[in-house]
Amino acid sequence: MIIKEVNSIEFDPYYGRYMNKLSPELDIYQGFQIGKNLIVDFFQKIPDNKLEYRYDTGKWSVKEILQHLIDTERIFMYRCFRIAREDKTPLAGFNQDIYIEPSGANDKTMSTLLDEFKIGRENSISLLESLSDRNLQNIGNANGGSMSARAAASVIIGHEIWHVDIIKERYL
């Protein structure tokens, strides 16, 4: 499934900032595998003294951003799965900010966080491989807006790129 096939009517305009980060020729499956390698490599290279750094009051640390990527992937893959299976039940949004403190991200080692990320990513890849192109085109309702299963998956890749760019600009 090529990402350029994802139509703007398949996701709320809010997610456009993540979708615009993607190469239109990118295959979703390749994007998840490439993204896994890039995220692991990127976070492994961040110096230890930057892992709990915050560029401003109230902003997340680098570890918290990685935990946020992990949590967001879980939620969006759940959305992808439910929508792909033709579940028409409206799916609730989530408040990303309340997830950070109870996650204890800053108490985890980078190795632990990266293992958590890699395991989650392998599960996401397995799920995507189990879905047909037709399943991925199904449209449901997530957070009050229309979303296709393939858009839910694609947002994850763009969301990672978005946050890596922020880390490069404001943390390193």
Residues 6+ apart with CB under 8 A from 37: none
* Tens digits of residue pLDDT in 2-15: 555 788 889 999 99
Tell me what pLDDT residue 26 has: 83
Tell me what pLDDT residue 33 has: 96
Distance CA 11, CA 155 (A): 9
Q: Residue 147: phi, psi to the nearest 5?
A: -155, 130
Structure tokens at 145: 């807006």
Question: In this structure, are residues 124 and 32 in contact, taking their beta carbons and an 8 Å threshold?
Answer: yes
pLDDT confidence tier of residue 97, bands split at 50, 70 and 90: very high
**Residue whose structure tokens are 């957070």:** 143
C-alpha count within 13 angstroms, C-beta hemisphere, residue 39: 34
pLDDT > 80? residue 1: no
Any idea where the domains of the chain sit in the sequence?
A: 3-170
Question: In this structure, are residues 143 and 91 in contact, taking their beta carbons and an 8 Å threshold?
Answer: yes
CATH architecture of the domain 3-170 equals Up-down Bundle (1.20)
Q: Residue 7: phi, psi to the nearest 5?
A: -90, 150
Continuous H helices in 13-55: 16-19, 28-44
Continuous H helices in the chain: 16-19, 28-44, 62-84, 96-103, 110-130, 133-136, 149-170
Tell me what pLDDT residue 24 has: 80
* Tens digits of residue pLDDT in 6-62: 888 899 999 999 999 998 888 899 999 999 999 999 999 999 999 999 999 999 999
Distance CA 37, CA 134 (A): 28
Tell me what pLDDT residue 8 has: 86
Question: In this structure, are residues 50 and 171 in contact, taking their beta carbons and an 8 Å threshold?
Answer: yes
* Tens digits of residue pLDDT in 146-164: 999 999 999 999 999 999 9
Predicted TM-score (pTM) of this structure: 0.95
